[in-house]
């Protein structure tokens, strides 16, 4: 059957609808201890009346860095939070996903991209699926996947660095369907490979694929992999992930697009998620060729904030009842790189710049863009190394923020973990510890049922290898 998707007279045909496999019911899989797993101690029991949630979408359960979890530890202690388990892993920057008692990790080992399903409290493995890859990062960064796996609770969806898209059964790891987006849509891989995590909305899997001849944004049926709609737009695939939210103009999809191009082009697309119709197109991109749009839009009511750190800065728009955009203000105060700012009580908090130094934490007022404060903490850190103790003056740099349990949990680029109190009066640090010293701790951690899952993406100064680590943050 020919599938057509139109906007302003331009039609997109699904280039290769995938085969859907019949997944017959099979017995439940048991867990097995795999090579590279080290178990330390079981986590504490969950406290009475604790609120918990899964972490199966990018930026957490509500796509904005907020977690509803409660009853977390307030102090880390001299030794830091207790490790539950850790497992060695290969290359990549993909965050983990947590669905019930299962953790999905996505990385590269040798010439394979691997999806693994682990038990959340033991680290033991239910299943592993891998496929070949030849990706090489042209700038010398990791060659593994960038995109966090996402899930609807039944299936897991992954996109690798070469834009291989898979739908896997959560319980078994069997393939429901798969697509080679790079081949089918003639994609370029941009500066660092494919990097924008997909979004699940109703029965659709939405991706900013950025095909050179269109479409720019595509919705696939999550159960069949068939194309539902595609948007006509020349802006390429960015490293930002789409966000969906309710506004004065109804439910809207926000895509901060813009891939490798000369001249550098991109910006915000406001789209009807049911049809793919573009309601608003707002250009916003640094003029440098190697600029990127990587932070996800921050949507609060009918206001949306987008930001980048290569020249344009940040801008706040208001979505009108007809879906169009009204600019409220713009400035270059909070220029986020690939972290996404956190909104709390009318204020935005985030890291300004691409670091590693001169990347302060900044607070601005969302209604006006007014600077409330900026501060770059210096964290003196002594670590063991093969040549003896060494001390470093380190910053949060490209940190990740999670607003949770009345505080903000910050994971710094060099493995620091901090509790901050977010308020417009000034920087307030409540607690600080150091997990490990390794560069490129860029991926946002996953938090679910009081357990924090952190990816160490580079070798540590202490000789530790790349790994995923589960820490116990449950209050006694």
Assigned fold of 186-332: Lipocalin (2.40.128)
- The pLDDT value recorded for residue 462 is 87
Over the range 380-407, which residues count as b (16 or more CB within 10 Å of their CB) and which as e?
ebebeeeeeeeeeebbbbbbbbbbbbeb
- The pLDDT value recorded for residue 11 is 66
d(C-alpha 268, C-alpha 273), whole Å:
14
d(C-alpha 343, C-alpha 429), whole Å:
18
Handedness of CA 242, 247, 252, 254 (dihedral sign): negative
d(C-alpha 137, C-alpha 414), whole Å:
22
- The pLDDT value recorded for residue 447 is 98
Per-residue pLDDT tens listing for the chain (476 residues):
333 333 432 468 999 999 999 999 999 899 999 999 999 999 999 988 999 999 999 999 999 999 999 999 999 999 999 999 999 999 999 999 999 999 999 999 999 999 999 999 999 999 999 999 999 999 989 999 999 999 999 999 999 999 999 999 999 999 999 999 999 999 988 899 999 999 999 999 999 999 998 899 999 999 999 999 999 888 999 999 999 999 999 999 999 999 899 999 999 999 999 999 999 999 999 999 989 999 999 999 999 999 999 999 999 999 999 999 999 999 999 999 999 999 999 999 999 999 889 999 999 999 999 999 999 999 999 988 888 889 999 999 999 999 999 999 999 999 999 999 999 999 999 999 999 999 999 999 999 999 999 999 999 998 899 999 999 999 99
Prediction pTM value: 0.96
Contact between residue 13 and residue 3 where contact means Cβ atoms under 8 Å apart: yes
The contacts of residue 464 (CB under 8 Å, 6+ apart) are: 436, 438, 456
The domains of the chain are located at 186-332
Look at residue 369 and give its three-state secondary structure. coil
* DSSP letter string, 5-43: EEETTEEEE-S-PPP-------PPPPPBPPTTEEE--PP
d(C-alpha 466, C-alpha 457), whole Å:
5
């Amino acid at each position: 059957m020919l599938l057509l998707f139109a906007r302003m007279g331009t039609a997109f045909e699904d280039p290769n609808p995938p085969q859907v496999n019949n997944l017959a019911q099979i017995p439940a899989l048991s867990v097995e201890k795999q090579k590279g797993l080290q178990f330390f101690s079981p986590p504490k029991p969950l406290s009475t009346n604790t609120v918990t949630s899964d972490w199966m979408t990018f930026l957490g359960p509500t796509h904005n860095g907020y977690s509803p979890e409660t009853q977390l530890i307030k102090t880390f202690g001299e030794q830091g939070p207790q490790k539950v388990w850790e497992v060695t892993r290969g290359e990549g920057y993909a965050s983990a996903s947590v669905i019930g008692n299962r953790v999905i990790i996505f990385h590269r080992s040798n010439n394979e991209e691997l999806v693994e399903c682990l038990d959340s409290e033991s680290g033991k493995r239910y299943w592993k699926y891998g496929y070949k890859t030849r990706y090489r990062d042209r700038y010398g960064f990791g060659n593994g996947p960038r995109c966090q796996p996402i899930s609807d609770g039944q299936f897991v969806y992954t996109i690798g660095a070469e834009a291989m898209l898979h739908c896997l059964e959560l319980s078994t790891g069997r393939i429901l369907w798969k697509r080679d987006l790079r081949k089918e849509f003639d994609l370029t891989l941009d500066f660092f490979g494919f990097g924008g995590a997909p979004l699940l909305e109703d029965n659709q899997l939405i991706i900013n694929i950025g095909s050179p001849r269109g479409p720019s944004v595509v919705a696939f049926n999550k159960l069949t992999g068939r194309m539902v709609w595609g948007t006509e737009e020349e802006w390429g695939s960015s490293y930002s992930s789409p966000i969906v939210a309710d506004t004065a103009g109804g439910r809207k999809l926000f895509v901060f697009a813009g891939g490798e191009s000369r001249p550098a082009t991109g910006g915000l697309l406001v789209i009807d998620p049911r049809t793919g119709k573009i309601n608003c197109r707002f250009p916003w991109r640094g003029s440098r060729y190697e600029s990127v749009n990587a932070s996800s839009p921050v949507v609060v009511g009918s206001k949306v904030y987008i930001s980048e750190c290569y020249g344009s800065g940040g801008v706040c728009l208001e979505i009108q009842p007809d879906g169009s955009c009204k600019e409220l203000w713009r400035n270059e105060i909070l220029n986020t790189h690939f972290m996404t700012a956190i909104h709390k009580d009318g204020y935005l908090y985030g890291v300004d710049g691409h670091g590693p130094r001169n990347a302060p934490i900044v607070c601005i007022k969302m209604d006006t863009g007014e600077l409330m404060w900026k501060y770059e903490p210096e964290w003196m850190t002594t670590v063991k190394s093969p040549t003896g103790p060494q001390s470093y003056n380190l910053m949060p740099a490209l940190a990740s923020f999670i607003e949770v349990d009345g505080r903000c949990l910050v994971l710094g680029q060099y493995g620091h973990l901090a509790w901050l109190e977010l308020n417009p009066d000034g920087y307030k640090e409540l607690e600080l510890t150091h997990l490990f010293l390794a560069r490129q701790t860029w991926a946002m951690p996953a938090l679910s049922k009081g357990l924090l899952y952190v990816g160490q993406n580079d070798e540590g100064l202490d000789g530790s290898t790349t790994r995923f680590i589960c820490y116990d943050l449950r209050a006694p």
